[in-house]
């Protein structure tokens, strides 16, 4: 919302500066986003009259003008030709600086001296979108008389300031100059002076122009109309055009400008129809019929649907109600009789239609927030008054008003102590009454209650708390003295799962992994990219009804695709090594849920490339789990997961429960993501990890007796897993084996094809005594024969 | 004999001065004081002396011995110090070289900010409560007093799963859940992922993050709200930060306010970043919980009042670290992550 300060001051008398007004309004609830003027500080642009126009002797496209600027005549060479002798135009004299830092200097145009520049509105700082069609090209020509040599900045208000406001959706009444004048009045305690609306002369009768108005649809609560005859369509006077332009609207012609002026002034969008175009001399407000079309003012043919509210004549729709008029009934230079429409349409209906056709306008923006229906007649009458004022036509007697549900004033009761309690203040009742009355809410004290009568334009006020806000904002939230919370001392808690999450993140940080964060929604194509079989249950995903494109259209059931994506992005940007993890949700349909919500499961996703292998990934997981007090994991080979390398992937089990998968990503999948490196990824069920975490740590006596270390090397088939060997060692060693550690795998010289040598060391220790060679040798012997018998192992000497 | 002893002493002490390594020093010790050494040889002749002379000579001999021993020891100390010094000198390294073998991972700046904020509120007695990303329309809109006709409910603003379920557009539904499950009094914050139908650009992302807080109790006032948020903002951005509470509108609070904080860059002086206003605008939204919202959650709005506040974590993270493009938060470029 643009608020021209000069216009505002038509209704409140104040000499406050734009900055002072802006600061005050911001703190009382109308947030000021910026203050600007068209062309702050432009000097030396004066009004001049074209005395003569001659062709340039050496240039076909240029003319030489003599311009009378009051005290003298100046010679100016220009390329524009849209003016004639006797026209008054803005003249930028030598030394002027125009917007865009254009400095006007004495210039020689092919042998002819030019002492200034004739200006267009754009050159004077106006935005293209507020310049009327007539003034779009060429030099601006004044349509009124002013003294020659007067300052054009003054005439055009180039230095006037405009305040740009953010109006909250609950206050459509503030989308108007008068609405803001009322706010300013309450904020600064200055009385507001609203225009007195009166029509001095009416003749003829509306029934001679209009048969009637039928409001068939419930989406229109009021339709008020008056007719103007003997209309002379022309440019509006400069003051009117100027105000529209300052408020961000483009002047069109006197009738349309009046409707826009009153909309800006009162906040009621209005429309003007050419009466001669109304077939059957009827206005019907109805829902569109499926298949009907309407060519709107922007010259686009709209196919209507039955949820569109339209204004129609006897045969066809002539406007999209509250959104945009139709081209056929548009005001043109031939128009002689005009119907002013002041209506009240259903906000939702206007909003949906405006949105469907992508036609957000000043009108629809106001209607969709809700408007006081009482404004409809007031605004149309104000239009008639302006018609008289600028002599645009003659007001026809009487009006037609269809008003279904009248908006009556209501009263709201307020307990003063409740207001003080909510705000944390100690205001007197008198002060509260002052604030409420200054906003135009007639308020009186009845016993212990304040009763406020709410003006009908304040559609936002309904309950006691609403009045508390009005009092609070006029007192100023920024003036409320802060008070600490009192009451029972409590301590804040973090959910247990968050604590485990924090711990896990610290551990993974310590291991060199960076934390990453990816979107909860992914592309369904990702499931093909990670080579998931068609029947995989991970493909049972939840779809969005209205995704922002396919890439964000389904809720992820696995974190592998987003991990692959970010690894790929890094890889392709030339990052050599990436270690990453994410703890995030996956989403699964849940048929048993009471509120139709799916289940959300937390997953820990770990991934890396550039350094490390399967074993580093496994080590990461072991360190993490052990630190969280989770022991006894089992890794079994996973050959049938098509995302992963069949020989380098494991399922992680704990007491038979599947905790996750880890391994090297299949080269096909890496290709799909353009990664030419080995990638390792693990996916772990984090909810289960939280459940299994055990922070309880019990002290175990430090060993008093020495350990015994025995190394063994055995030759076994390639197929034999170290895990099988280790299990045999542990079986025979029982409590006496403190640790088993592999230290070498060897293939090649002296080892037959298809075999490998595994070397490992066994550490024996008892907590009760010093072990003897003899007993350790016995265990060693048992281990060796078991390895020989069951794994076909050969001891390597 | 006495002369001979003194001669040995003088000779030994003189030679000590020229000895430059420990091996030579030990040789000298053996040569003079060893079993077959010069001094020992003379002492062997002591038996030949008279009973009167013997103690006198013995004393002299002891003196000589200890003098030489002292000499050797002090030369030894001198030499070993010299040797250590030489070693230290020789072992000098270039301390400007770094090894870069130990790598510590980095927290994501946004998630770290959430943790920081949560910890701050925990220290002020707030409970952290979690909620799902997919929510019911009721929890996300209806119970929060959002008008039936509110544009935020449109398919062009909110991602829907079904007619009744959606991707939460704010973290407020967690407050609804908490009020319904736990009732009053309540003091909580909730942070997490939120979603809105926004195309990706440098300031928008269809997924972003919020943290919201709620206090419901008897006698909770706007003055309490201001006190709580002031503490929080000063803790987060620094003691010199000022706040400004401006009236605003939210469907779920009445009165409602927006909070401006001194511009993080210029600390309120006015700079291009704050459009010369000195304020970082709209960092938080807050207000007194709308009585209808309390009633929707089964809380007696006459007995209890409450305040609520909410903020965009993405924006706060960006302001805090001077990040100018929100996409960086979701790209996970290693070179970005390693800066935090």
> B115 and B86: one domain?
no
> A52 and A103: one domain?
yes
A494 interface with B at CB cutoff 8 Å: yes
Q: Is the pLDDT of residue A712 over 80?
A: yes
CA torsion, points A568, A571, A577, A579, in degrees to nearest 10? -20
Contacts of B221 in chain A (CB under 8 A): 421-424, 483
Residue A195 lies inside a defined structural domain of this protein: no
> B26 and B168: one domain?
no
Please give the average per-residue pLDDT across A122-126, as a whole number: 88
Contacts of A508 in chain B (CB under 8 A): 105
A596 interface with B at CB cutoff 8 Å: yes
> B84 and B176: one domain?
no
Q: Model confidence over A395-445: pLDDT tens digits?
A: 999 999 999 999 999 999 999 999 999 999 999 999 999 999 999 999 999
pLDDT at B292 (0 to 100): 97
- B337 vs chain A: nearest CA distance in angstroms? 7
Least CB–CB distance from A472: residue in B161, B222, B244: B222
A574 interface with B at CB cutoff 8 Å: no
Contacts of A509 in chain B (CB under 8 A): 104-107
Residue A213 lies inside a defined structural domain of this protein: yes
Instruction: Identify from B102, B134, B195, B217 which residue to disrupt to test chain A contact, counting A C-beta atoms within 10 A and taking the largest count.
Output: B134
**Residue A195: which pLDDT band, with cuts at 50, 70 and 90?**
very high
Give the structural domain span for A444.
Answer: 410-479
- B298 vs chain A: nearest CA distance in angstroms? 18
> A472 and A552: one domain?
no
Residue A490 lies inside a defined structural domain of this protein: no
> B169 and B310: one domain?
yes
Q: Is the pLDDT of residue A252 over 70?
A: yes
CATH number at residue A166: 3.30.56.10
> B12 and B139: one domain?
no
Q: Could you give the CA distance from residue B252 to residue B145 in angstroms, rounded to a whole number? A: 6
Q: Among residues 134-193 of chain A, which lie with CB inside 8 Å of chain B? A: 168-171
> A178 and A242: one domain?
no
Q: Is the pLDDT of residue A38 over 80?
A: no
Residue B100 lies inside a defined structural domain of this protein: no
Least CB–CB distance from A509: residue in B105, B135, B165: B105
Please give the average per-residue pLDDT across A563-583, as a whole number: 97
The answer to whether the Cβ–Cβ distance between A514 and B108 falls below 8 Å is: yes
Residue A677 lies inside a defined structural domain of this protein: yes
Residue given tokens 């001392």 in the structure block: A489
Q: Is the pLDDT of residue B224 over 70?
A: yes
Q: Model confidence over A442-466: pLDDT tens digits?
A: 999 999 999 999 999 999 999 999 9
Q: Could you give the CA distance from residue A227 to residue A225 in angstroms, rounded to a whole number? A: 7
pLDDT at A725 (0 to 100): 93
DSSP line for B216-240? EETT--HHHHHHHHHHHHHHHH-TT
Residue B96 lies inside a defined structural domain of this protein: no
> B42 and B154: one domain?
no
Neighbouring residues of A301: CB distance < 8 A, sequence distance ≥ 6: A293, A294, A295
> A271 and A419: one domain?
no
Q: Model confidence over A670-710: pLDDT tens digits?
A: 999 999 999 999 999 999 999 999 999 889 889 999 999 99
Domain count, chain B: 2
Residue B130 lies inside a defined structural domain of this protein: yes
Q: Is the pLDDT of residue A42 over 80?
A: no
What SS3 state is found at A654? strand
Q: Are A624 and A503 a contacting pair, CB within 8 Å?
A: no
| Single residue among B90, B118, B145 that ends a domain in this structure | B90
Q: Is the pTM of this model over 0.80?
A: yes
Residue A193 lies inside a defined structural domain of this protein: no
What SS3 state is found at A603? strand
> A375 and A267: one domain?
yes
CATH number at residue A132: 2.40.50.140
Least CB–CB distance from B165: residue in A170, A570, A597: A597
> A511 and A617: one domain?
yes
The answer to whether the Cβ–Cβ distance between A517 and B106 falls below 8 Å is: no
> B86 and B160: one domain?
no
Residue B271 lies inside a defined structural domain of this protein: yes
Neighbouring residues of B207: CB distance < 8 A, sequence distance ≥ 6: A519, A520, A521, B193, B194, B195, B330
The answer to whether the Cβ–Cβ distance between B108 and A34 falls below 8 Å is: no
Instruction: Identify from A36, A477, A586 which residue to disrupt to test chain B contact, counting B C-beta atoms within 10 A and taking the largest count.
Output: A477
Least CB–CB distance from B187: residue in A490, A502, A511: A490
For chain B, what is the total number of helices (H) and then of strands (E)? 12, 9
> A712 and A776: one domain?
yes
> A354 and A237: one domain?
yes
pLDDT at A41 (0 to 100): 66
Q: Is the pLDDT of residue A40 over 70?
A: no
> B84 and B127: one domain?
no
Residue A278 lies inside a defined structural domain of this protein: yes
Q: Model confidence over B166-212: pLDDT tens digits?
A: 999 999 999 999 999 999 899 999 999 999 999 999 999 999 999 99
What SS3 state is found at A398? coil
Q: Are A383 and A340 a contacting pair, CB within 8 Å?
A: yes
> A149 and A172: one domain?
no
Residue B6 lies inside a defined structural domain of this protein: yes
> A264 and A388: one domain?
yes
> B41 and B184: one domain?
no
Q: Are A703 and A638 a contacting pair, CB within 8 Å?
A: no
- B273 vs chain A: nearest CA distance in angstroms? 14
> B293 and B326: one domain?
yes
Q: State the count of interchain CB pairs (< 8 A) between A and B.
A: 242
Least CB–CB distance from B134: residue in A517, A581, A587: A587
Please give the average per-residue pLDDT across A582-599, as a whole number: 93
Residue B187 lies inside a defined structural domain of this protein: yes
- A35 vs chain B: nearest CA distance in angstroms? 11
Please give the average per-residue pLDDT across A245-255, as a whole number: 95
> B25 and B170: one domain?
no
> A217 and A366: one domain?
yes
Q: Among residues 67-86 of chain A, which lie with CB inside 8 Å of chain B? A: none
The answer to whether the Cβ–Cβ distance between B122 and A493 falls below 8 Å is: yes
Residue A196 lies inside a defined structural domain of this protein: no
Residue A194 lies inside a defined structural domain of this protein: no
pLDDT at B275 (0 to 100): 77
The answer to whether the Cβ–Cβ distance between B291 and A424 falls below 8 Å is: no
> A441 and A576: one domain?
no
Please give the average per-residue pLDDT across A574-601, as a whole number: 94
Q: Are A11 and A178 a contacting pair, CB within 8 Å?
A: yes
- Spatial CA neighbour of B206 closest among B159, B154, B255: B159
DSSP line for A459-490? TT--SHHHHHHHHHHHH-GGGSPP----SS--
A456 interface with B at CB cutoff 8 Å: no
A738 interface with B at CB cutoff 8 Å: no
| Single residue among A692, A717, A745 that ends a domain in this structure | A692
| Single residue among A369, A403, A437 that ends a domain in this structure | A403
Return the residue of A nearest to B207 by Cα. Answer: A519
Give the structural domain span for B151.
Answer: 109-337
Please give the average per-residue pLDDT across B22-38, as a whole number: 86
> B164 and B243: one domain?
yes
Domain count, chain A: 6
Q: What ipTM describes this predicted complex?
A: 0.88
CATH number at residue B116: 3.30.930.10
pLDDT at A91 (0 to 100): 94
């Amino acid at each position: 919302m643009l608020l021209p300060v000069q216009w505002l001051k038509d209704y409140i008398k104040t000499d406050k500066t734009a900055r002072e007004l802006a600061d005050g309004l911001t703190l009382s609830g109308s947030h000021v986003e910026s203050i600007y003027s068209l062309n702050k500080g432009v000097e030396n642009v004066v009004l001049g009259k074209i005395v003569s126009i001659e062709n340039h002797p050496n240039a076909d496209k240029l003319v030489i003008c003599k311009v009378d600027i009051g005290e003298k005549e100046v010679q100016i060479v220009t390329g524009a030709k849209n003016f004639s002798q006797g026209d008054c135009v803005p003249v930028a004299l030598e030394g002027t600086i125009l917007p865009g830092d254009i400095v006007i200097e004495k210039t020689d145009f092919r042998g002819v001296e030019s002492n200034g520049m004739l200006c267009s509105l754009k050159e004077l700082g106006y935005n293209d979108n507020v310049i009327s069609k007539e003034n779009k090209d060429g030099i601006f020509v004044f349509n009124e008389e002013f003294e020659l040599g007067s300052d054009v900045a003054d005439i055009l208000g180039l230095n006037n300031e405009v305040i740009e406001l953010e109006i909250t959706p609950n206050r459509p009444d503030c989308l108007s100059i008068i609405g803001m004048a009322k706010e300013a009045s309450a904020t600064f305690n200055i009385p507001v002076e609203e225009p007195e609306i009166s029509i001095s002369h009416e003749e003829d009768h509306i029934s001679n122009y209009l048969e009637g108005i039928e409001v068939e649809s419930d989406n229109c609560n009021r339709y008020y109309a008056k007719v103007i005859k003997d209309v002379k369509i022309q440019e509006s006077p400069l003051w009117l055009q100027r105000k529209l332009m300052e408020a961000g609207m483009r002047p069109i012609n006197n009738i349309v400008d009046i409707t826009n002026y009153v909309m800006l002034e009162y906040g009621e969008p209005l429309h003007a129809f050419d009466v001669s175009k109304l077939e059957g001399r009827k206005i019907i407000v109805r829902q569109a019929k499926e298949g009907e079309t309407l060519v709107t003012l922007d010259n686009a043919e709209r196919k209507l649907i039955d949820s569109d509210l339209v204004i129609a004549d006897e045969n066809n729709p002539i406007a999209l109600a509250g959104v945009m008029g139709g081209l056929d009934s548009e005001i043109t230079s031939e128009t002689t009789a005009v119907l002013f429409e002041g209506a009240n349409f259903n906000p939702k209906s206007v909003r949906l239609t405006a949105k469907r056709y992508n036609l957000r306008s000043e009108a629809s923006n106001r209607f969709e927030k809700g408007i006081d229906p009482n404004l409809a007649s007031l605004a149309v009458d104000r239009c008639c008054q302006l018609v008289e004022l600028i002599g645009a036509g003659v007001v026809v007697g009487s009006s037609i008003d269809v008003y279904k549900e009248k908006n009556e004033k209501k009263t709201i009761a307020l307990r003063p102590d409740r207001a003080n309690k909510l705000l944390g203040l100690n205001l007197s009742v008198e002060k509260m009454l002052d604030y409420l009355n200054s906003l135009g809410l007639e308020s009186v004290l009845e016993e212990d209650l304040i009763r406020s009568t709410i003006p009908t334009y304040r559609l936002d006020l309904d309950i006691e708390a609403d009045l508390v806000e009005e009092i609070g904002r006029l007192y100023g939230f920024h003036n409320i003295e802060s008070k600490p919370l009192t009451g029972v001392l409590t301590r804040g808690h973090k959910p247990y799962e968050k604590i485990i999450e924090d711990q896990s993140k610290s551990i993974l940080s310590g291991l060199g992994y960076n934390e990453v964060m990816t979107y909860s929604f992914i592309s369904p194509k990702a499931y093909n990219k990670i080579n998931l079989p068609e029947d995989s249950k991970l493909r049972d995903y939840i779809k969005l009804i209205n995704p922002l494109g396919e890439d964000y259209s389904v809720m992820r059931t696995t974190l592998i695709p987003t991990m692959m994506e970010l690894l790929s992005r890094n890889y392709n940007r030339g990052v050599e090594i990436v270690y990453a993890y994410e703890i995030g949700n996956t989403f699964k349909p849940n048929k048993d849920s009471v509120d139709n919500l799916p289940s959300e499961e937390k997953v820990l996703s770990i991934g890396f490339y550039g350094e490390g292998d399967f074993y580093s990934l496994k080590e990461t997981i072991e360190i993490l789990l052990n630190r969280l007090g989770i022991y006894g994991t089992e890794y079994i080979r996973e050959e049938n997961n098509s995302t992963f390398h069949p020989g380098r992937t494991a399922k992680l089990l704990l007491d038979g429960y599947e905790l996750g998968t880890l391994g090297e990503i299949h080269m096909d999948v890496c290709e799909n993501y353009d990664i030419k490196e080995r990638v390792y990824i693990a996916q772990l069920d984090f909810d289960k990890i939280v459940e299994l975490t055990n922070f309880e740590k019990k002290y175990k006596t430090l060993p008093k007796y020495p350990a015994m270390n025995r190394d063994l090397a055995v030759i076994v088939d390639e197929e034999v897993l170290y895990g099988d060997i280790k299990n045999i060692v542990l079986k025979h060693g029982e409590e006496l084996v403190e640790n088993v550690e592999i230290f070498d795998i060897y293939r090649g010289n002296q080892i037959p094809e298809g075999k490998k040598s595994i070397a490992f060391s066994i550490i024996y220790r008892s907590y009760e005594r010093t072990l003897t060679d003899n007993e350790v040798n016995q265990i060693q012997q048992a281990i060796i024969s078991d390895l020989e018998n069951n794994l076909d192992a050969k001891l390597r000497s | 004999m006495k002369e001979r002893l003194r001669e040995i002493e003088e000779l030994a002490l003189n030679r000590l001065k020229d000895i430059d390594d420990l091996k030579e020093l030990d040789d000298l010790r053996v040569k003079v004081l060893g079993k077959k050494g010069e001094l020992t040889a003379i002492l062997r002749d002591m038996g030949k002396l008279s009973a009167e002379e013997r103690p006198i000579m013995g004393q002299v001999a002891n003196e000589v011995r200890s003098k030489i021993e002292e000499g050797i020891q002090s030369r030894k100390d001198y030499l070993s110090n010299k040797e250590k010094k030489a070693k230290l000198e020789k072992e000098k390294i270039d301390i400007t070289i770094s090894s870069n073998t130990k790598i510590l991972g980095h927290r994501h700046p946004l998630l770290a900010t959430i943790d920081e904020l949560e910890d701050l509120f925990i220290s002020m007695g707030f409970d952290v409560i979690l909620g799902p990303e997919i929510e019911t329309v009721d929890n996300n809109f209806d119970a929060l007093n959002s008008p039936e006709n509110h544009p935020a409910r449109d398919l062009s603003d909110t991602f829907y799963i079904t007619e009744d379920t959606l991707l939460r557009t704010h973290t407020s539904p967690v407050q609804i859940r908490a009020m319904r499950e736990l009732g009053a009094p309540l003091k909580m914050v909730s942070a997490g992922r939120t979603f809105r139908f926004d195309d990706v650009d440098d300031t928008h992302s269809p997924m972003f993050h919020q943290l919201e807080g709620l206090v419901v109790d008897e006698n909770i006032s706007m003055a309490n709200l201001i006190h709580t948020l002031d503490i929080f903002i000063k803790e987060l951005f620094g003691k010199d930060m000022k706040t400004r509470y401006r009236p605003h509108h939210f469907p779920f609070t009445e009165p409602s306010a927006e909070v401006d904080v001194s511009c993080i860059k210029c600390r309120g002086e006015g700079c291009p970043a704050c459009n010369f206003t000195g304020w970082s605008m709209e960092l938080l939204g807050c207000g007194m919980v709308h009585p209808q919202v309390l009633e929707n959650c089964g809380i007696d709005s006459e007995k209890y009042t409450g305040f609520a506040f909410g903020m965009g974590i993405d924006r706060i993270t960006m302001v805090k670290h001077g990040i100018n493009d929100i996409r960086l938060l979701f790209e996970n470029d290693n070179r970005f992550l390693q800066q935090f």
